[in-house]
Structure 1
Amino acid sequence: MGVLIEETGTAQVTINVCNFREVSLARVFETVMSEAERFGVSIVGSEIVGLVPMEALLEAAAFYLRFDGFQHDQVLEVRLSQG
């Protein structure tokens, strides 16, 4: 859903991601960014409303930071939670 926010002169795109394993957060973001660029608009930010699985964020981080051979258990909190 897209909404124009007249007070700030910006638009907001709202997307519910139901299965991040099927369509990653990075892919959703890249698609929205690509569509925005087609219309000469840039993305100024993003937000998450509600809860998000850590795995979804780790996958997005690995995508954007282009880690070679990144494993989720390299994250301190993941390793600590494993006992």
Structure 2
Amino acid sequence: MINLDWASMVGFVGTACIIGAYAYLTYKEEPNPFILHGTNLTGAALLTVSLVVHTNWPSLVLEGFWAAIAVWGLAKALKTRRKSA
């Protein structure tokens, strides 16, 4: 049996968020950008917590970019929502 610490478990939840967001994007004809980018941002944040404890620099850099793209997507969605309101 593999013993996983709390940081690894948090990382697995983050991974599930990112995989779930990608599946949602693929499944939905018109995905809600707040769900899509919010889930990606949550996943990146959780994986970052795990990667700070178990440092893997290339993956940490990847999560930084993943989070930045998610924030950009959320900002774009907010701007679009304000224009249509």
The structure with more strand, counted as a fraction of residues: 1
Q: Which has the higher helix share?
A: 2
**Bigger-Rg structure (1/2):** 1
Higher relative contact order (CA 8 A, sep 6+): 2
Normalising by structure 2, we get a TM-score of 0.33
**TM-score normalised by the chain length of structure 1:** 0.33
